[in-house]
Amino acid sequence: MAGGVLKNSDPDQPLSEINVTPLVDVMLVLLVIFIIAAPLMAKALKVDLPQVAAPNDAEIIVVNLTVFAGGELELDNQHVAMDQLPHLLTQRFIEEPDAVLRLGSDGRTPYATIAHVLSIAQQNGIQRIAFSTSPPSSSPAQEQE
């Protein structure tokens, strides 16, 4: 009768089942010991890390380019035309080759305009581009009204 219930009602016979309650108690005690001891062992671990001298004055230069919904462009808060943009970007990134171009736009700006500006940046060798996630305050056309 493998796996079946023995129908022996003799109380003097030993039980064939394992009592897991003491095993669970021991495991919980070990778990508590490890929870308490783990932070103490982590603090006692000493590692000699290599020391590297890095320049602290490495400031990132950011060139801000904002594209508005009407197609207007601002390069570092100065209004520029779309046909002037390649020349101005090339000139700016020759002066500061490690600069980052931060591209921001209005939420209503068509994707085609953004894609065109990105292709101009890529054609002019700009490799580091960041996207601004905060909308610009107002467009130049709205300021004139």
Give pLDDT, residue 7.
Answer: 58
Which pLDDT score, from 0 to 100, does residue 124 have?
A: 86
* DSSP characters over 26-75: HHHHHHHHHHHHHHHHHHH----PPP----TT-PPPEEEEEE-TTS-EEE
Which residues does the chain have with pLDDT short of 70? 1-9, 44-45, 54-58, 134-145
The maximal CA–CA distance of the chain, rounded, in angstroms, is 102
At a CB cut-off of 8 Å and minimum separation 6, what does 88 contact? 75, 80
* Domains by residue range for the chain, with CATH: 62-134 (3.30.420.270)
pLDDT at position 56? 64
pLDDT in tens, 7-37: 556 777 777 788 889 999 999 999 999 999 8
Report the distance separating Cα 49 and Cα 103, nearest Å. Answer: 38
Partners of 130 in the beta sheet?
102
Cα separation, 101 vs 120, whole angstroms:
12
